[in-house]
Structure 1
């Protein structure tokens, strides 16, 4: 049959062309697949060289950080070392790192992208757990994003902080000045021991408010004392009155104690005020006397002027007497007989 058709027949030519076209398409697909595999291999080796150690660290620590998460952090501009370190610390200290309810990789990435300090938050949660202080990730992250140092807040909750009242670094004053009812000035310096109130840390008043409230209460309690001897004999009366007022309401701190560090007797403000008042009264009396003297001099000058006027009138009247007598003589009302 082939001999009858010949080698140059259309059927022979079509059969001869089908095999080379199939082989070329297969070779093209193999080349494309090889290129894609090579590119993926290069990319894989690239990320393996960069994040392989981090992934191995997370895997050995059971921190649940996948390779896909590390690659995603690369493109979302998240520092993977910070996230891995935070997850490792959380896992090693027994914190919940489950993906649904725990400290997951996604939540750490979100807090990092929001501008938070991830490691500071994790350290605060670990410290709070060791001290048996209730603090979850959401609360710690909110405190951190609010601009407060959450780790320092936890430490202050464990180890109370002492605040000077007044604080020389803030007001430039070293003592509070208060006056008792008998007019004696007392200069007081107090120390306020506070503990951080984590529940009111967001939106609560700061140390400046606590210092201002305590200072006002100390001055008020000293001002209600009858004499300065009462305060000097019982300095604890000040602290009792101050603590009963609940000055830590709506603040980020809870006042543990208020201690009077020093009391000095100052000036006798009452006597000085009385002296100043007496001097002022003297000046007022002198001014009134000077006014009355000036009025008396003015009255004297007026009387002298009136005397001069009366004398002038008298002279005028005396000058008219001769003229009247002459007129009477001429009229015959007066005769020489």
Structure 2
């Protein structure tokens, strides 16, 4: 979704919801509350409040129209009761002052929306540069990816993913940077850059992980205050052989991926856990990759903890293996991701506390063109 669509959708929801009706309700209440009286009066504070509310929630044209209606209602009420007595200054000026405040507020919010649009556009371009969308097809593999930030206004965070086709096969990465803000973004850019460069040269997944970790430590030692790298990154590195039959996984402290095949869902837990990237010096012993068969038509889901740490109303964590078991036959990565993301939203009632990234890989029956 583009920033223009997001901002436009927000404005439409605001104007079409309860807030959009508030100015009209206040104006009607102001008129009805003054009709029974038989002395000089005005639409009063409620009408002034309706003008201010219109400026904050409606478009400039609608806010101007409601302000004109409020001024007209105020004048008609005063004429109905007659000008037998001079109205107090605060009553006389209340509605015009509310109208001016409302229109000024409308223009100020419009300028704020334009600035937010510019910032959102820059953030979206930064996300495309750091996390480009992988191709739909790589050899015998079909790919799909989804990224959802915990904060709806954000376009980028600490979750990373990458796909690289090499002479060793198709190499995959999904990770989660500790922390938030610019530090996480800087770390994510280093991880992605190091992975893409080393994926073509490293002879094995342990060597690839070592190259990425070395880049993190080197950049952290020279990082300035404006781009301070975070301490560690959980990562899952994968390698699918050129014939597509074998999957190798190296887990560095990251949530396990899930293999969907037939109507079954199975977590591919590591045979031996290892430390996240950036913490390897705490333990000199490194683990070896686990090998798994990748059946034709199977879908591999690589996720971040935004999925596994989603909680329901009782505080229970989301379990993809349990929730996806028996949901149908899997042969399309987009369908698998859509079902997973929808089910996570339903489980957590939309209360997301962390960024969520999902990379799906499916071994297809034929090798489509890369395009």
Q: Does TM-score exceed 0.5, indicating one fold?
A: no
Structure number, greater radius of gyration:
1
TM-score in terms of structure 2 length: 0.26
TM-score in terms of structure 1 length: 0.28
Richer in strand (by share): 2
* Greater relative contact order, per chain length (Cα 8 Å cut-off, separation 6+): 2
